[in-house]
Amino acid sequence: MTPPHAPSEAAPAVAPAGWSPASWRDRVAVQQPEWDGLDELRAVTDELESAPPLVIPGETRQLSASLAEVAQGRAFLLQAGDCAESFDSATPESIERRLRVILQMAIVLTHSAGVPVVKLGRIAGQYAKPRSSSHETLDEVSLPSFRGHIVNLPEFETDARRADPRRISQAYQRSATTLNLLRAMTQGGYADLTKVHQWNEAFVAATGVGRRYETLADDIDRALRFMQACGLDTDEVPQLHEATLYSSHEGLILDYEEALTRQDTETGEFFDTAAHSVWIGERTRDLDGAHVEYFSGIANPIGTKVGPTATPAEVVALCDALDPHRVPGRLTLIARMGAELVTERLGPLVEAVAESGHPVIWATDPMHGNTFTAPSGRKTRHFDAIEQEIRGFFEVHHRLGTWPGGIHVELTGDDVTECLGGSEELSDDQLGLRYETMCDPRLNARQSVDLAFRVAELLREQQH
Ligand code: PEP
Ligand code: MN
């Protein structure tokens, strides 16, 4: 399952003139916390500047090479994981369940659609959240908003909401231990194709979707036995025994990303070593802002969210700023339009970008444009709207002859009840049963595997 392509021989990505890991400080940085203790912040970032990188350039370049395949229509991107990771979920059980559902989705997509799948987790560092208001008011008490575990805590209490710089260092530690286990599991036998049955979590297996998955797993077993019967020594084929799950998060807290930026002494390129890939959120993609400045100089493959208000000129200007050398797969545009708007709003953007010659990946985030408050008062999303936005995304690309490069989804491996619908038809009165997210509602493992089957069908249709 390791992508078959070798790292690209592309020329090093040169940062723009005047860029440095700190040059974002001359721009307006929105969505940054008001850290309590600037000396403490300095002490923490100084320490991180000499700490070991979480990922190394060689791995990041492999991801770039795989994403170049996606940009050219030869592979598909699955970017998935938590909305906001919790420090408390850096446990072996939680990491295993999240890895397991991503592997299941990837195998469904690969098997049913016959395309290689690049797996990119919203994991091992997805600790920072942009917020629509800087403060939250309850019973006439106003406190700073919760901004993710790298900043503060969700409890509505003065001390919990303090933006504590020490949490930056804890985020680094949690990312490191999470990545360590992910690397061990994906390279050390857990992702072996002979284990596809074992990835099926009991609460998924008992359902229609679970049985469909079992049939697919039987097929894979048969295919492996067939290869062996033909005389192929499958033990000697590493792609059948290992997987690669890359890490990504929203590169929101620039003090953190800057402190983990390292220059590759061989090529002179700068890498954000906090993750293999980082993306810019919908609220921080201002062309003249600090985030676009920082992202323009790092050599990692990067993404930016694109919402329904984006104009074709704005998106092309973002491509010029973030992908000046027109490198296939360097930039992923993650469209989050909402099911109602996707058909109308996406087409003009895709056309303008194609005309500009930027070889971007188009991915769909069918989550963030489809969030609403249910009558029970809980923030939720309906599985049907999620599916409908993906369908709209595929239709636009089919009409324009462009490649629908991937999906970007919020999920968890647990049996949570946060999104409505799906084959089990989760209803509003069930949302309260296991509503555990710290931020946005996530698909549970059943809904995630179900979604993978539906996307696989769309991909199959796309190829005809
Ligand atoms: C997110 O991905 O969790 C998020 C906040 O998305 P957006 O920037 O698209 O609103
Ligand atoms: Mn979210």
Looking at residue 11, its pLDDT comes to 64
DSSP 152-187: --SSSSTTTTS--THHHHHHHHHHHHHHHHHHHHHH
Give the residue from 56, 46, 63 showing the smallest Cα distance to 329. 63
pLDDT tens readout for residues 337-355: 999 999 999 999 999 999 9
Beta bridge partners of 298: 270
Give the angle 379-381-384 at the CA atoms, nearest 5°: 160
In a domain, 157, yes or no: no
Q: 336 among the known binding-site residues? A: yes
The percent of residues above 90 in pLDDT, for the chain, comes to: 95
437-to-50, 82, 378, 382, 419 alpha-carbon distances in Å = 34, 9, 11, 16, 11
| pLDDT (mean) for 289-301 | 98
Query: Looking at ligand 1, which atom is closest to the CA of residue 283?
Result: 8
Between CA 188 and CA 58 the distance in angstroms is 20
- On whether the CB atoms of residues 149 and 124 are closer than 8 A, the answer is no
Between CA 414 and CA 81 the distance in angstroms is 11
Looking at residue 2, its pLDDT comes to 39
Residue 327's φ and ψ, nearest 5 degrees, are -95, 120
The CATH number of residue 253's host domain is 3.20.20.70
In a domain, 199, yes or no: no
CA of 450 to the centre of ligand 2 (A): 20
| pLDDT (mean) for 244-255 | 98
Looking at residue 5, its pLDDT comes to 42
- End-to-end Cα, the chain, rounded Å: 24
In a domain, 49, yes or no: no
Number of domains in the chain: 1
Ligand minimally distant from the alpha carbon of residue 249 = 1
DSSP 385-445: HHHHHHHHHHHHHHHHT--EEEEEEEB-SS----SBBTTTTB-GGGTTTT---SSS--B-H
Q: 221 among the known binding-site residues? A: no
Ligand minimally distant from the alpha carbon of residue 291 = 1
CA of 282 to the centre of ligand 1 (A): 6
- On whether the CB atoms of residues 290 and 376 are closer than 8 A, the answer is no
Q: 410 among the known binding-site residues? A: yes
Query: Looking at ligand 1, which atom is closest to the CA of residue 83?
Result: 3
Shortest-distance Cα residue to atom 3 of ligand 1: 83
Least confident range from 269-273, 340-344, 397-401, 460-464: namely: 460-464
In a domain, 92, yes or no: yes
Query: Looking at ligand 1, which atom is closest to the CA of residue 130?
Result: 5
Task: Work out the pLDDT band at 8, boundaries 50, 70, 90.
Answer: very low
Q: 282 among the known binding-site residues? A: yes
Q: Is 118 exposed, middle or buried (0-12, 13-18, 19+ CB in 10 A)?
A: buried
Number of H helices, E strands in the chain: 12, 14
| pLDDT (mean) for 272-295 | 98
Between CA 79 and CA 361 the distance in angstroms is 12
Q: Is the dihedral of CA 206, 212, 213, 218 positive or negative?
A: positive
Q: 27 among the known binding-site residues? A: no
Indicate whether 117 pLDDT > 90.
yes
Amino acid at site 351: E
In a domain, 147, yes or no: no
CA of 66 to the centre of ligand 1 (A): 24
Indicate whether 3 pLDDT > 80.
no
pLDDT tens readout for residues 388-424: 999 999 999 999 999 999 999 999 999 999 999 998 8
With a Cβ cut-off of 6 Å, ligand 1 is lined by 83, 130, 250, 281-283, 305, 336, 368, 440
CA of 40 to the centre of ligand 2 (A): 29
Query: Looking at ligand 1, which atom is closest to the CA of residue 336?
Result: 9
CA of 331 to the centre of ligand 1 (A): 17
If phi over 0 gives left and psi between -120 and 50 gives alpha, with beta otherwise, what is residue 151? alpha
CA of 81 to the centre of ligand 1 (A): 12
Amino acid at site 7: P
- Pocket perturbation via mutation, ligand 1, pick of 79, 145, 283 by most ligand atoms within 8 A of CB: 283
301-to-13, 60, 117, 150, 285 alpha-carbon distances in Å = 10, 8, 16, 23, 16
CA of 310 to the centre of ligand 1 (A): 15
- Pocket perturbation via mutation, ligand 1, pick of 440, 442, 443 by most ligand atoms within 8 A of CB: 440
Looking at residue 6, its pLDDT comes to 41
In a domain, 4, yes or no: no
Q: Could you tell me which residues come within 8 angstroms of residue 344 by beta carbon, excluding any fewer than 6 positions away? A: none
Tell me what the pLDDT averaged over the chain comes to: 95
DSSP H stretches of helix in 262-302: 290-297
Q: 166 among the known binding-site residues? A: no
In a domain, 356, yes or no: yes
Query: Looking at ligand 1, which atom is closest to the CA of residue 439?
Result: 3
CA of 79 to the centre of ligand 2 (A): 13
Using DSSP bridges, classify how beta strands 270-272 and 261-263 pair: parallel, antiparallel or unpaired.
antiparallel
Ligand minimally distant from the alpha carbon of residue 365 = 1
The percent of residues above 70 in pLDDT, for the chain, comes to: 97
Element (H, E) at 248: strand 245-250
Structural domain harbouring 299: 23-38+56-132+169-191+242-462
Task: Work out the pLDDT band at 203, boundaries 50, 70, 90.
Answer: confident
Between CA 134 and CA 193 the distance in angstroms is 46
Q: 419 among the known binding-site residues? A: no
Query: Looking at ligand 1, which atom is closest to the CA of residue 334?
Result: 9
Tokens in use for 200?
A: 């099926």
Looking at residue 4, its pLDDT comes to 42
Looking at residue 423, its pLDDT comes to 87
In a domain, 236, yes or no: no
